[in-house]
Structures are given as structure tokens and as C-alpha cells.
């Protein structure tokens, strides 16, 4: 016999500012259940969780908690007012009979000492302290609103393991797919104010959601066809037997009302990347580069070569130096030792994790147009700012909304809209998934998959890394960074654990009864570069630069739309010259890369 639910919400309705947010939402949580609450940004997930926690009173509906059941809620923005240290904040959440040691244990596991001043906490530290306070009492129900926000990968993986080991019931809101897939056993979908429940985890949600929306669309089309049939009868059949058929007139009005009020799926973000001119084959190269701050090594003796079209992820714990490494590779920060250089023809667009390039005083329209007119250049084509805003789910009336009052998700979409409109052949994305809903993440992934340029990505989202990157640079500690082939899961398979793991253990000692390995022959002595090769290695970069300049000059001539009409022979001559120059450039780049690889092998 199934146990009765510990927490129940029935027919919850709530309106903010004249717009219904919840119109008939329900939620049921039984002992030990793992429920994920999913929906678009702005659909009311956090509000429904606050109703469940008892912090928001709905306009209508019933909230019931079993007598004696304890409920703890993790807010997105914890309040530390009145608490001097993180330990005082966590201990204040304990109840009579709770283990005081657990507060210190959780703080220690989350990388805090308990002595941190609450007034000086970073976003990640504040989230860790709030998690410790929420988990410390071991309640019957945990309501977690974006628990992985501001956490690095080691903390996310620790939290995942900790929650798996609890007998507590969970209700989780998160945009971290892997986190939801690993923890959830049931899914509640909040869509247009109503909830639907699937008795399976998040891994089955998207297929179920798509099938549900497709069925809704088929029903809406059937209703539209029925209205068309009734309208035809109205035009040609209402004159006869008028009194008897007034019922059909009334039914048609009802059908129109039903269609008008039919709940349609919310809009989708429409992303288009503006590709720039093709970069050279070599995008950036680091050779034994090092960087330290106050004697602490951040990057030590790091070498890498990134070619055109590569997708490279950078992962590590908070404070490991991911942003520093990114700034070195892109030329924003010089190394203390070694060499870092960028290839030719780089057009870079950067998305920073703190949204620092957004001025809070700007309006949404000014942020997109730069304050110049009412058009945005997207992939070289002018587009009205209102139309471009709609592509990213902004309402027309938000054009004059100050950036400073936007939600985290809206600011994230605005940053994406600004970045994707600019022509580029190198995208540098520092935590692009923060505050984005799952549908927007899907579209961003598809957009990057079609992008012809190079991508450098810093992220704590394991699923997003697996979907996007072809190699992962991992912080191994003490300034060491190592590149692994494949996505995040491939890296874990190679290392044997996630990024919190230390370097791979040494090979096991040979047993005494094992035969000794045959002595390996000494490798042949490596040859030296010939004089011609040395000369080519020195002169090819200059020749490649000359060819790129020549191609750019010829391209400017071709950009003249009247050239072909005025001088067909001249047009053909310029076209042939570009083809020849590009062929020579490709050959020079190939030869230079071969010689660079050979030089490194000899040097190694």
C-alpha cells in the first residue's frame, strides 16, 4: 500500500501584475520521492516552490503538509542578515535534537571553514553556505531551487552524491541536465500555469513533452477545421430554419472562444550566428606558457595548438584559473614565461560570465543597437530591433526596459543576442549556460554545432560540454593543465574520476612471478632541421601574412557590386587571383604546421 504524500498542492492559482502565473497547478510529494520541476524561464517554477515551502500565499488552492513532517527550502538568493559568520548562519537552521556537528561537517565538505564573514561571500560561497544550512537538519522534504548555480564541478558532483545518499524526499529545480537525470525519478512540467506529471525521471521528459505538444497542435488544428465548417454553414444555411438553428450559432461562438483561449506552447528562441571571414588554420598557440600571482602558479608550462574549427572546453574548480587561462590564450593577458600567439584574421566575440559588458542604465533596445537607431545588424543584414528581441523571447514593450531590472535569465538571453549578432570566427564563452532554460540551451547547442568558426568554452555543465566540445582542458592542480580528447564524460573515463580527482595513480608494481619485460631498444637519434626547413619556418609566417593582406585587398574589389557589369574580364581576373592566393596560403599554412610539429618533436 502506497504511503500518503507528505506534501500536497491542489489547484493553486496566483496572479502577479494582472497576468496569471499559476492557473491550476498541483504538486504531490511522497516519502523518499525524487521529483524534478521543469518549465520555461518565467513559467512560475520558483513561485510554485515558494508556495510549497509556505513562503507565498496563493490566490486560490490548497496546501497540505502531513503533521510532523519537516520541509526545508533552498532559495536562489539566501538572506544572511543578522549572521556574522557562515557557521552562525548554518547553525541557526538546526532544530532541537539536530546534530550540531553536521553543520561543521557540511561546511567543511563544501570548502568552507565556518569563519567566513557573510558580508564578504562570493556567489559560490553564499550558495555553499545556504546548501549547508538546508541540508544540516535532514528534513523530510527538501525543496531545492537551482542548487547548482554558482557551484563548480567538484561541488556539483559532491552535492549529487550527498543527495543520492539521503532518504529525504526531493523537489529540484535546475537547468543542469546531468544533475536532473542522475537524481530524479518523477517529473512535474509547469507549462502555461498548469502542471503535468510523468512518473519517470528527467531523461524521459523531452520525448514526452514533444509528444504532448504535438498532440495539442493536432487538437488545435481539428478545432480550427471544425470552426471553418461551421462558418461555411453560417454563410449558406442560417437563412432557413432560423429559430431551430440558433443553437449552432451559439456553438460556433463557443468554438471561436475555445480556439482563441487555447493554450499554445510558448515561443522559442531563434538564434542565428553571424559568421565572420574565415580565419587562418592556426587560431592560437601556447608554448610552455606560465602565469603566477603572488608566487602562486596559475598556469605552469602549458602548451597547446588550437586549429580552425576546434571546440575546446576548459574545466576546473572555482579559483583554479580558468578565466586567466582563457585570457592568456586570447591575448588579453600576457604570460610571465613562454609564448602565446594568435593566428591571422581572428574575429573574436566574447560572452563573459558576469555580464559585465551590460550597462544597467541601458534599455534592452540600446543594448542591442548600441544606441544607434532602431536596427541590429545580424549576419550582415539589418533587422528591426523589435523583431530581433522577439527572436530571444523579449516582448515589444520591453524595448525601453532598463537592463538593471531584468532577471538573470533575461540578462543571459540579452548577452547571447548581442554576441551572436556580431560577425566572428572565434567564440569565447565563459559560463554561457548560467540562467538559461533547457530549451534555450538546446538551441544554443544546435547553433554552435552549425558554427563554422572556433569555440572556446568554460562551463560547469557536464551535459553541455559533452554535446559541444571535442577536447577538454582540465586543471590538475599546482598550475598544471592537461588536454583530454573528447567531452567531459570521455575525460572522466580517461582520468578515472571527475575534475576533483588527483592525477592518475602510478601503474601497479610488477609481481615477483611476472616475467621481466624485454629491454626496449634505444630510439634512433632524431634528425635536425635542414637549412631549407629552418629558413621556411622563419619566412612562412611573413608570407602567410602577405597573402592574407592580398586576399583582403582582392575581396574588397569584388565587394563592388558593379564590377562585373563594368568589367567582366577584370572580375574574372580578380576571382582567379583570389583562388590562386588562397591555394598558396593553404599550402603555406600546411607546410608551416608540418615544420612546427617537426621542430617540437626534435626539441622534445
Q: Is 321 annotated as a binding residue?
A: yes
Average pLDDT over every residue of 573-580:
85
Q: Is 43 annotated as a binding residue?
A: yes
d(CA 351, CA 348): 10
Q: Is 319 annotated as a binding residue?
A: yes
Q: Is 42 annotated as a binding residue?
A: yes
| Domain CATH number, residue 485 | 3.40.50.300
Q: Is 40 annotated as a binding residue?
A: yes
- Tens digits of per-residue pLDDT, 111-162? 899 999 999 888 888 989 999 999 998 889 999 999 998 888 888 999 999 9
d(CA 392, CA 287): 40
Taking the C-alpha atoms of 418, 421, 425 and 427 in order, what is their torsion angle to the nearest 10 degrees? Answer: 30
What is the pLDDT of the chain when averaged over all its residues?
81
The pLDDT value given to residue 399: 87
The pLDDT value given to residue 506: 33
Average pLDDT over every residue of 580-591:
81
Alpha-carbon Rg for the chain in angstroms = 30
- Tens digits of per-residue pLDDT, 7-30? 999 999 998 766 788 999 999 999
Look at residues 215, 167, 207 and name the one whose alpha carbon lies nearest to residue 187: 207
More confident residue, 529 or 420: 420
Q: For residue 61, is it within any domain? A: yes
Cite the beta strand spans of 242-336 per DSSP E. Answer: 282-293, 296-307, 311-315
The Cβ of residue 451 has, within 10 Å, a number of other Cβ atoms equal to 19
E strand or H helix at 10: strand 7-16
The pLDDT value given to residue 519: 40
The pLDDT value given to residue 34: 96
Average pLDDT over every residue of 325-351:
89
Q: For residue 589, is it within any domain? A: yes
Q: Which residue has the cell 516582448?
A: 395
d(CA 351, CA 273): 13
Note whether 106 and 37 are same-domain residues.
Answer: yes
Note whether 93 and 241 are same-domain residues.
Answer: no
Average pLDDT over every residue of 383-398:
84
Q: Quickly list H helices, 69-176.
A: 86-91, 100-109, 123-135, 153-164
Q: For residue 400, is it within any domain? A: yes
Most confident of 224-238, 325-339, 553-567: 325-339
d(CA 147, CA 451): 31
State CA 394 to chain mean position distance: 19
d(CA 9, CA 3): 17
Q: Is 316 annotated as a binding residue?
A: yes
Average pLDDT over every residue of 47-64:
94
State CA 338 to chain mean position distance: 32
Task: Tell me the backbone φ, ψ of residue 210, rounded to 5 degrees.
Answer: -65, -40
Q: Is 318 annotated as a binding residue?
A: yes
Q: Is 407 annotated as a binding residue?
A: no
| Domain CATH number, residue 588 | 1.10.287.380
Note whether 184 and 228 are same-domain residues.
Answer: no
Note whether 212 and 318 are same-domain residues.
Answer: no
Look at residues 162, 184, 158, 165 and name the one whose alpha carbon lies nearest to residue 173: 184
Listed residues 207, 225, 240: the one ending a domain: 207
Q: For residue 506, is it within any domain? A: no
Q: For residue 38, is it within any domain? A: yes
Q: Is 193 annotated as a binding residue?
A: no
Look at residues 376, 286, 294 and name the one whose alpha carbon lies nearest to residue 333: 286
Cell reading at 137 = 537538519
Note whether 447 and 573 are same-domain residues.
Answer: no
Q: 331: number of CA atoms within 13 Å, CB side?
A: 12
More confident residue, 256 or 541: 541
Q: For residue 518, is it within any domain? A: no
Cα end-to-end span (Å), the chain:
69
Confidence grade of residue 171 (pLDDT, cut at 50, 70, 90):
very high
Note whether 190 and 120 are same-domain residues.
Answer: yes
The pLDDT value given to residue 524: 43
- Contact by Cβ (8 Å): 375, 383: yes
Cell reading at 283 = 587560431
Note whether 476 and 353 are same-domain residues.
Answer: yes
The pLDDT value given to residue 455: 92
- Strands 186-191 and 141-145, by their bridges, are unpaired
Q: Is 532 annotated as a binding residue?
A: no
The pLDDT value given to residue 298: 93
Look at residues 41, 553, 441 and name the one whose alpha carbon lies nearest to residue 206: 441
Residue 552 has pLDDT above 60, yes or no: yes
Residue 514 has pLDDT above 50, yes or no: no
Least confident of 204-208, 219-223, 422-426: 219-223
Note whether 181 and 105 are same-domain residues.
Answer: yes
More confident residue, 246 or 174: 174
The pLDDT value given to residue 160: 93
- Tens digits of per-residue pLDDT, 256-275? 555 445 544 455 555 555 55
d(CA 499, CA 503): 10
Q: Is 24 annotated as a binding residue?
A: no
Q: Is 41 annotated as a binding residue?
A: yes
Confidence grade of residue 394 (pLDDT, cut at 50, 70, 90):
confident
Question: Dmax of the chain from CA atoms?
Answer: 106
Q: Is 280 annotated as a binding residue?
A: no
The pLDDT value given to residue 41: 76
- What's the domain count of the chain? 4
d(CA 373, CA 525): 67
The pLDDT value given to residue 302: 94
Q: Is 245 annotated as a binding residue?
A: no
Q: Is 303 annotated as a binding residue?
A: no
Residue 497 has pLDDT above 70, yes or no: no
Confidence grade of residue 556 (pLDDT, cut at 50, 70, 90):
confident
Which letter does DSSP use for residue 117 in this model?
A: B
E strand or H helix at 465: helix 462-468
d(CA 266, CA 390): 12
Note whether 90 and 59 are same-domain residues.
Answer: yes
Q: For residue 510, is it within any domain? A: no
Note whether 200 and 329 are same-domain residues.
Answer: no
- Tens digits of per-residue pLDDT, 447-492? 787 788 899 999 888 988 888 888 999 998 889 999 998 888 888 8
Note whether 418 and 286 are same-domain residues.
Answer: yes
Residue 66 has pLDDT above 80, yes or no: yes
Q: Is 604 annotated as a binding residue?
A: no
Listed residues 146, 174, 207: the one ending a domain: 207
The pLDDT value given to residue 240: 44
The whole domain housing 559 covers 531-603
Note whether 239 and 176 are same-domain residues.
Answer: no
E strand or H helix at 568: helix 568-603
Q: For residue 269, is it within any domain? A: no
Average pLDDT over every residue of 412-422:
81
Amino acid at each position: 500500500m502506497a504511503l500518503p504524500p507528505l506534501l500536497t498542492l491542489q489547484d493553486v492559482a496566483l496572479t502577479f501584475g494582472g497576468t496569471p502565473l499559476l492557473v491550476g497547478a498541483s504538486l504531490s510529494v511522497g516519502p523518499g520521492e525524487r521529483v524534478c520541476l521543469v518549465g520555461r524561464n518565467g513559467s512560475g517554477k520558483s513561485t510554485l516552490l515558494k508556495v510549497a515551502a509556505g513562503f507565498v500565499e496563493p490566490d486560490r488552492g490548497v496546501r497540505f503538509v502531513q503533521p510532523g513532517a519537516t520541509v526545508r527550502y533552498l532559495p536562489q538568493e539566501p538572506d544572511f542578515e543578522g549572521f556574522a559568520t557562515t557557521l552562525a548562519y548554518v547553525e541557526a537552521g538546526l532544530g532541537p535534537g539536530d546534530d550540531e556537528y553536521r553543520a561543521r561537517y557540511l561546511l567543511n565538505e563544501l570548502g568552507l571553514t565556518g569563519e567566513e564573514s557573510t558580508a564578504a561571500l562570493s556567489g559560490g560561497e553564499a550558495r555553499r553556505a545556504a546548501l549547508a544550512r538546508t541540508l544540516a537538519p535532514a528534513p523530510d522534504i527538501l525543496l531545492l531551487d537551482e542548487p547548482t548555480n554558482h557551484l563548480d564541478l567538484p561541488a556539483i558532483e559532491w552535492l549529487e552524491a550527498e543527495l543520492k545518499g539521503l532518504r529525504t524526499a526531493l523537489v529540484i529545480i535546475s537547468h543542469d541536465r546531468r544533475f536532473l537525470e542522475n537524481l530524479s525519478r518523477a517529473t512535474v512540467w509547469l507549462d502555461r500555469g498548469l502542471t503535468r506529471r510523468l512518473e519517470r525521471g528527467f531523461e524521459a521528459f523531452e520525448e514526452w513533452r514533444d509528444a504532448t505538444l504535438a498532440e495539442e497542435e493536432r487538437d488545435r488544428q481539428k478545432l480550427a477545421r471544425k470552426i471553418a465548417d461551421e462558418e461555411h454553414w453560417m454563410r449558406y444555411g442560417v437563412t432557413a430554419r432560423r429559430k431551430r438553428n440558433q443553437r449552432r450559432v451559439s456553438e460556433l461562438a463557443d468554438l471561436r472562444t475555445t480556439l482563441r483561449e487555447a493554450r499554445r506552447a510558448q515561443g522559442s528562441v531563434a538564434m542565428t550566428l553571424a559568421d565572420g571571414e574565415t580565419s587562418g588554420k592556426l587560431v592560437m598557440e601556447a608554448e610552455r606558457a606560465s602565469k603566477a600571482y603572488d608566487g602562486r602558479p596559475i598556469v605552469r608550462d602549458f602548451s597547446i595548438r588550437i586549429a580552425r574549427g576546434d571546440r575546446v572546453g576548459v574545466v576546473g574548480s572555482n579559483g583554479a584559473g580558468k578565466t586567466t587561462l582563457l585570457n592568456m590564450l586570447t591575448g588579453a593577458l600576457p604570460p610571465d614565461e613562454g609564448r602565446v600567439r594568435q593566428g591571422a584574421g581572428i574575429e573574436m566575440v566574447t560572452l563573459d560570465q558576469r555580464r559585465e559588458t551590460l550597462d544597467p542604465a541601458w534599455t534592452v533596445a540600446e543594448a542591442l543597437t548600441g544606441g544607434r537607431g532602431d536596427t541590429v545588424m545580424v549576419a550582415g543584414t539589418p533587422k528591426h530591433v523589435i523583431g530581433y528581441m522577439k527572436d530571444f523571447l523579449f516582448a515589444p514593450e520591453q524595448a525601453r526596459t532598463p537592463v538593471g531590472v531584468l532577471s538573470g535569465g533575461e540578462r543571459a538571453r540579452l548577452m547571447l543576442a548581442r554576441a551572436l549578432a556580431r560577425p566572428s570566427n572565434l567564440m569565447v564563452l565563459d559560463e554561457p549556460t548560467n540562467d538559461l532554460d533547457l530549451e534555450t540551451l538546446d538551441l544554443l547547442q544546435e547553433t554552435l554545432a552549425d558554427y563554422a568558426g572556433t569555440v572556446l568554452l568554460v562551463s560547469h555543465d557536464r551535459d553541455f560540454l559533452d554535446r559541444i566540445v571535442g577536447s577538454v582542458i582540465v586543471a590538475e592542480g599546482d598550475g598544471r593543465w592537461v588536454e583530454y580528447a573528447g567531452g567531459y564524460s570521455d575525460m572522466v573515463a580517461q582520468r578515472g574520476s571527475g575534475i576533483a580527482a588527483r592525477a592518475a595513480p602510478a601503474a601497479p608494481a610488477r609481481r615477483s612471478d611476472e616475467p621481466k619485460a624485454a629491454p626496449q631498444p634505444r630510439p634512433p637519434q632524431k634528425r635536425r632541421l635542414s637549412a631549407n626547413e629552418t629558413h621556411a619556418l622563419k619566412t612562412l609566417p611573413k608570407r602567410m601574412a602577405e597573402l592574407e593582406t592580398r586576399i583582403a585587398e582582392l575581396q574588397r574589389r569584388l565587394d563592388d557590386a558593379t564590377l562585373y557589369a563594368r568589367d567582366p574580364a577584370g572580375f574574372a581576373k580578380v576571382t582567379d587571383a583570389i583562388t590562386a592566393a588562397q591555394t598558396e596560403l593553404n599550402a603555406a599554412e600546411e607546410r608551416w604546421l608540418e615544420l612546427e610539429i617537426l621542430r617540437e618533436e626534435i626539441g622534445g
